[in-house]
A and B are shown apart, each in its own frame.
Chain A
Amino acid sequence: MAVTGIILVLFLVAHMLGNLKVFAGASSFDHYAHWLREIGKPLLPGVWFLWIMRAALLVSVVAHIWAATTLALRARAARPVQYAHRKKIQGSYAARTMRWGGVIILLFVIYHLLDLTTGTLNPVGDPSRPYANVVADFAPSRWYVTLFYTLAVVSVGFHLRHGVFSALRSLGQQTPQGERRAKNVALAVAVLLCAGYLVVPFAVLTGLVS
């Protein structure tokens, strides 16, 4: 979980930095999108690098989900009879929403790929004009898309809030001071990524980017 999680977090960081290019204008953003397809050239033929990255991400996602499912199944098997009196969460709220949060994020990722990668669900849907796709996506009239996007990003935030801490713990963080540090790092990563991702749609919504 920890290793695949960290790979995915690194991807999220890169993806967010790319997204922020949207503020540099349409041509810059589109240029960045095209460049993504050409990394590695001329060592590798075009889009190969992209597909290698995609494959690595896919493997990470699958491994991450597989590990999560294994843990969830083990947890279910470990408590065959449930408590009649369910208690409220006393530890961390984020920790207790990892599984449902993960499912929401997965659904979002599928939608997100169909929307902005293949363009299937996008009103513009032109792979060569990503900037236009983004602007069309978050147009005020399509407020529900922005809402769904926001919910998903907040889920990601919660997921990271516990996930980053948990990953550090799984990799052997072991002192009380380290625990405080790990929790702060997790919170910072969660907040920064949330902010970085949310600023784009809200910029479109408010007309800052058009």
Chain B
Amino acid sequence: MNLTLRIWRQKGPEDKGRMVTYQVDDVSPDMSFLEMLDVLNERLILAGEEPVAFDHDCREGICGMCGLMINGNAHGPQRGTTACQLHMRQFKDGDTIDIEPWRARAFPVIKDLVVNRNAFDKIIAAGGFITAPTGSAPEAHSVPVAKGNADAAFESAACIGCGACVAACPNGSGMLFTAAKVTQLSLLPQGQPERYTRVIGMVDAHDEAGFGGCTNAGECTVVCPKGIPLNTIGRLNRDYLAATAKRGDNTPGS
């Protein structure tokens, strides 16, 4: 099939950026979306033009490195699918496809479609962990975990940190990402000692990074390639309310 692509081109963080139109012919429906961009880039290089910079790594939907706004959809039109696993059979001959980077103050553009998602790492560093230095762990079977809790924790832990939730959110909020980690760890007995300091630390880091506030609009969960449920945010809110209620001199993170 033949496609018209309109791609965001931006030389660097300081450049203003613009949409540029390209024609790509002979696209096979079996190609992945990123392979289609590879083909475009090969042609651009041979024509002496700069190839389009975009992030990608595993190309099997798990590393979370790829992230493209495709026709206004984070990761494209197919639900539960990252851009790297999106295949061209989802499009038709003659389609025009707009490709843009994630847009958020907390995710500044580095070049073309590549953004800096370091803010997510900072949120994790602010509490998204269980303090268990190597060597200090008790025998794994000493604390049973109810299967339901383990499964629900896993469901939240499936987050790949791609940032689609932020990209799709009308408020530019990173709450689904934050809530997924809070939920995973607060469902496990190992996560209880730091439950309240964790949520305060992470929400503070989230706000500090310049993400917007959550209004439960629900766009995030629709585009999430791993289907992280919106009710994780409720769990975060509950923990946050409990934590702020007891926030005192003895509460770290306050």
Do A and B contact each other directly (Cβ–Cβ < 8 Å)?
A: yes
Q: A residues engaging B (CB < 8 A)? A: 70-71, 74-75, 77-92, 95-96, 98, 162, 165-166, 169-176, 178-179
Indicate which residue in B72, B106, B223, B235 contacts A85 across the interface (CB closer than 8 Å). Answer: B72
Report Cα–Cα, A163/B223, bound state, in Å. Answer: 22
A175: nearest residue on chain B (CB-CB)?
Answer: B231
Q: Which of A78, A83, A86, A98 has the most CB of B within 10 A?
A: A78
B10: nearest residue on chain A (CB-CB)?
Answer: A81
Q: Are B222 and A91 in contact (CB under 8 A)?
A: yes
Q: Is B91 part of the contact surface with A, judged by Cβ < 8 Å?
A: no
The interface residues of chain B lying within 8 Å CB-to-CB of A175 are 231, 234
Interchain nearest-CB distance for A161 vs B (Å): 12
Indicate which residue in A82, A84, A95, A176 contacts B98 across the interface (CB closer than 8 Å). Answer: A84
Count contacts between A and B, CB distance < 8 Å: 116
B231: nearest residue on chain A (CB-CB)?
Answer: A179
Q: A91-B221, A96-B170 are in contact. List 4 more A-B contacts (CB 8 A).
A: A79-B104, A82-B103, A85-B98, A166-B215
Report Cα–Cα, A118/B29, bound state, in Å. Answer: 67
**Cβ contacts B221-240/A at 8 Å (1 or 0 each):** 11100000111111101100
- A169 touching B210 in the complex, CB below 8 Å, given contacts A74-B171, A84-B100: no
Q: Are A79 and B234 in contact (CB under 8 A)?
A: no
The interface residues of chain A lying within 8 Å CB-to-CB of B230 are 169, 179
Report Cα–Cα, A179/B230, bound state, in Å. Answer: 9
Indicate which residue in B69, B73, B213, B216 contacts A95 across the interface (CB closer than 8 Å). Answer: B216
Interchain nearest-CB distance for B190 vs A (Å): 20
- A75 touching B105 in the complex, CB below 8 Å, given contacts A88-B72, A91-B222, A95-B216: no
Indicate which residue in A89, A172, A178 contacts B241 across the interface (CB closer than 8 Å). Answer: A172
Chain B positions 105-162 with a Cβ under 8 Å from a chain A Cβ = 105-106
CB-defined A-B contacts under 8 Å, sample of 13 = A70-B213, A71-B171, A71-B215, A77-B210, A79-B103, A82-B103, A83-B72, A84-B100, A85-B71, A90-B222, A92-B218, A169-B230, A169-B234
B18: nearest residue on chain A (CB-CB)?
Answer: A84
- A78 touching B211 in the complex, CB below 8 Å, given contacts A85-B69, A95-B217: yes
Report Cα–Cα, A70/B171, bound state, in Å. Answer: 11
Q: Are B238 and A172 in contact (CB under 8 A)?
A: yes
- A79 touching B212 in the complex, CB below 8 Å, given contacts A71-B171, A96-B217: yes
Considering the complex of A and B, which 5 residue pairs feature the smallest CB-CB distances, nearest first?
Answer: A87-B72, A172-B238, A78-B172, A91-B218, A78-B212
Q: Are B231 and A77 in contact (CB under 8 A)?
A: no
Give the number of residues in B that approach A within 8 Å (Cβ atoms): 42
Interchain nearest-CB distance for A67 vs B (Å): 9
Q: Is B54 part of the contact surface with A, judged by Cβ < 8 Å?
A: no
Report Cα–Cα, A179/B229, bound state, in Å. Answer: 10
A177: nearest residue on chain B (CB-CB)?
Answer: B231
B74: nearest residue on chain A (CB-CB)?
Answer: A87
Chain B positions 196-254 with a Cβ under 8 Å from a chain A Cβ = 210-213, 215-223, 229-235, 237-238, 241
**Cβ contacts B51-84/A at 8 Å (1 or 0 each):** 0000000000000000001011100000000000
Q: Is B173 part of the contact surface with A, judged by Cβ < 8 Å?
A: yes
- A74 touching B234 in the complex, CB below 8 Å, given contacts A81-B103, A90-B223: no
Indicate which residue in B100, B212, B213, B235 contacts A83 across the interface (CB closer than 8 Å). Answer: B100
The interface residues of chain A lying within 8 Å CB-to-CB of B6 are 84
Interchain nearest-CB distance for A188 vs B (Å): 18
Q: Are B104 and A78 in contact (CB under 8 A)?
A: yes
The interface residues of chain A lying within 8 Å CB-to-CB of B168 are 87, 90
Q: Are B237 and A170 in contact (CB under 8 A)?
A: yes
Q: Are B105 and A169 in contact (CB under 8 A)?
A: no
Report Cα–Cα, A77/B171, bound state, in Å. Answer: 9
Q: Are A174 and B238 in contact (CB under 8 A)?
A: yes
Indicate which residue in A82, A83, A91, A172 contacts B237 across the interface (CB closer than 8 Å). Answer: A172
